[in-house]
Amino acid sequence: MPAVIPDRPADRARPVRRGPEPAPRAAARIAVLAAVQTALMIGLGLLITGPAHALWPLAHEDAVDEGLEGVRTSALTAVSSVASEAGNTLTVIIGTVVACLALVLIPHRRRWREALFLATGVALQALVFLLITLAVDRRRPDVERLDDSPPTSSYTSGHTGAATALYAGLAVLAFSRIRGPWRKILGGVLLLIPVLVAAARLYRGMHHPTDVLGGMLNGTLSLLIVGSAVLTRDTTPAPDDSSDTPAPAGGGQRSAAAVVVYNPLSANAATLDTVRGVLARHGHPDARLVATTADDPGYGQCVDARDQGASLVVVCGGDGTVQAAADALADSDVRLAIVPCGTGNLLARNLELPLNPEKALDSALSGTAHRLDLGRVDGDGLPATHFAAMSGAGLDAAVMDATGDRAKAVIGWFAYALAVLRKARAPRTELTLSLDGEPPLRRSARMVVVANVGTLQGGVHLVPGARPDDGRLDLLILDPHGLRDWLRALTTLARTAPRQGRGTTAPAAGPVEYFTFRRAAVEFDAPQPREIDGDPVAPGRLLRAEARPGALTVMLPNGGN
C-alpha cells in the first residue's frame, strides 16, 4: 500500500515540547537528592572509619601515604603545591565567579542556566562537604604534612571535591559549547585538573586515598543532582525569522539542484560554511540554505525542496531533523545526504558515517546512492509518520520526554543517562501484540521499541538484528521484574546477539524479547508515552508499525558495510 504523505507540516506527528521545570520544583528536587547524597557520603565515611577500616584495601592506605612520603623531591613538591592550589577554596571561588560572569555576559548568547548549573554544583559540593566533616571524624595520615592542617576531618578531601565540581562542570560546558578540535583538548585538560589535585593532596600527606576518592564522588554527585534539575528540562527557542537563509532570486520560488536544510540550534555558522565548501567542491556552488523552525523541524522545508525540483537535500541536524527529512522525501527520487550535528545521530552511527560534518558530507557525496528502508507508524491521535531509526512507547519515550533540548546541547548524551535514572521506576503495562496477521500475543512490558536500526551510542546493540536494508522491522519488548531481571536485561543488551525469530508461538523469553515483522500493532491496556526517532509525540494506547522497504534514497560512502 503506498505511503500517505501529508501535504502540510501541521498534518504530521508534531514533537511534544515541554517547558522548563518550575523553580520551586527544581529546588525541591535538588534538596531531596542532596539529602540522599549527604546520607550516602556520611554512610561511606562511617563505613571506612569503622567496620571496613581493617579490611583490604583500606588496611593498606597508610602504606600509600608513607610510600609517597618516601619519594618526595623538591621538584615534585613544587609541582604538587601548584596543583593543590587549583583546589584551594579561594581559587575555586574566584574561578566559579569568573566563569559564571563570562557565561551571563556573553553578548547575544547569555547562558543563565549554565551559570546556575555551575554555581549551584560548586555550592552544593561545599555544603555537603561541611556536613560530612561534622559527622565523620577521621584523622589525617600519620606522615609529615606539607600544608597546615585545616580544622576539618580528613574525610573527604575538600580540595578534590571542589576541583571536581568546578573543573568537571567547566569540562561539560566546554564539550558542548566549543566547536572544532580544541573542544576535546580543553575538555580533557579540565577533567585532568581534579585528578592532579587529588594526587597532590596525597603527595603532600593531607589525605588518605579514600578521602580523595570520596571528594571526587561528592563533586560528581553534586553536578549530577544539579544537572538533573537545572538542565534536563528546557524549551527550545524558535529561531529568528530573519535568519541568514538566502532568499530566492526575484522574490519568488526557484528550483535548486541542492538544498541544505539545517537546524540552527545544532549547525552553527562554521558548520554551514564547511557544508557550502564541500558542496562547491562537488559541483553544487549555488546550494540554497533553509533553516528549520520550532513549528516545522524540517518536513515542510524538505517538501518544498522536493516540489521545486531539488535532486539533493543535505540535512544538517540531529535525529529529529533527519526524521522530518526522511518523512518528507519517502518514496521520492530525491537523494538525501546526512550531516550529523545532533546528540544521538543514531541513523548516521548505524550507517557508519563519519561524525565530523565535513568528512560525513564529503564521503557521502563521493559515494553512491542506496535505497534504505523506513518504518511507518500511526495510532490513536498519531498521524501516519515515517521514522528512520526507532520508534517506541513506555520507558524510552518517557526518557526522551524528560530530556530537554538544552540539556542535550550542554551535556550531550549524558542528558539521557540522567533522564534514565529519573524514569527507571516507570510502571509496566499489559499489552496485546499482533504480528503479520498471526494470533495475538499477551505481554507485559516497561518498554516497546520498533527499530529500523539497532545500535545506540557507545556501541550498545539494543536491537542486534535490525538492519535498514532487509525489508523488515524489529521489535524489542523490555520487561524486567526486580534487580535480578534488570541485570539480566543489561547483560543481554551489552552483548551482540543473533536476530530472534518472530516467536509468535513461543513463550516470553525473560526480560528481553525480540521479534521481526513487516506489519505489527501494539495495543496497550493504558495510555503510554510515545516517541518517534527520539522526539516525544502524543501519548496513546495504540502503536501500529509497517516496514517500508527501499523508501528512502541516501548517499553513503563507498566501501561501507
- 366/12 Cα distance (integer angstroms): 33
- 217/306 Cα distance (integer angstroms): 53
Q: Does domain 382-549 have CATH number 2.60.200.40?
A: yes
Using the structure block, give the residue that is written with the C-alpha cell 541542492: 258
- 192/187 Cα distance (integer angstroms): 9
DSSP 8-state class, residue 461? B
Given this model, what pLDDT does residue 425 score? 65
SS (H, E, C) 388-457: CCEEEEEHHHHHHHHCCHHHHHHHCCHHHHHHHHHHCCCCCEEEEEEECCCCCEEEEECEEEEECCCECH
Instruction: Classify domain 237-372 at the CATH superfamily level.
Output: Probable inorganic polyphosphate/atp-NAD kinase; domain 1 (3.40.50.10330)
Kind and range of the H or E run holding 494: helix 482-494
Residue 122 Cα distances to 217, 220, 226, 447, 453, angstroms = 13, 10, 10, 36, 40
Domain ranges of the chain: 23-230, 237-372, 382-549
Given this model, what pLDDT does residue 53 score? 87
Q: Could you tell me which residues come within 8 angstroms of residue 288 by beta carbon, excluding any fewer than 6 positions away?
A: 245, 246, 248, 256, 258, 259, 260
Given this model, what pLDDT does residue 250 score? 34
The three grid cell numbers given for residue 105, joined into one nine-digit string: 555576559
- 432/440 Cα distance (integer angstroms): 6
Closest CA to 199 of 82, 73, 63, 84: 84
Given this model, what pLDDT does residue 243 score? 38
Judge whether 232 and 84 are in contact, CB under 8 Å.
no
Residue 426 predicted with pLDDT over 90? no
HSE (side-chain half, CA atoms, 13 Å) at 421: 12
Residue 340 predicted with pLDDT over 90? yes
Given this model, what pLDDT does residue 421 score? 61
- 66/71 Cα distance (integer angstroms): 9
- 474/463 Cα distance (integer angstroms): 7
Percent of the chain with pLDDT over 90: 59
Measured between its terminal Cα atoms, the distance across the chain in Å is: 30
One of 1.10.8, 2.60.40, 3.40.1350, 1.20.144 is the CATH number of 23-230, namely: 1.20.144
The torsion angle over the Cα atoms of residues 316, 318, 323 and 329, rounded to 10 degrees, is 10
261, burial (CB in 10 Å: exposed 0-12, middle 13-18, buried 19+): buried
Percent of the chain with pLDDT over 70: 81
Question: What are the pLDDT digits (tens) for 53-104?
Answer: 889 888 899 999 999 999 999 999 999 999 999 999 999 999 999 999 988 8
Could you tell me whether strands 312-317 and 335-340 are parallel, antiparallel, or unpaired per DSSP bridges?
parallel
Given this model, what pLDDT does residue 180 score? 60
Judge whether 337 and 259 are in contact, CB under 8 Å.
no
Given this model, what pLDDT does residue 535 score? 86
Burial 479-490 (b: 16+ CB within 10 A, else e): bbeeeeeeebbe
Kind and range of the H or E run holding 124: helix 112-135
Same fold, 23-230 and 237-372: no
**395 pLDDT band (50/70/90 cuts)?**
confident
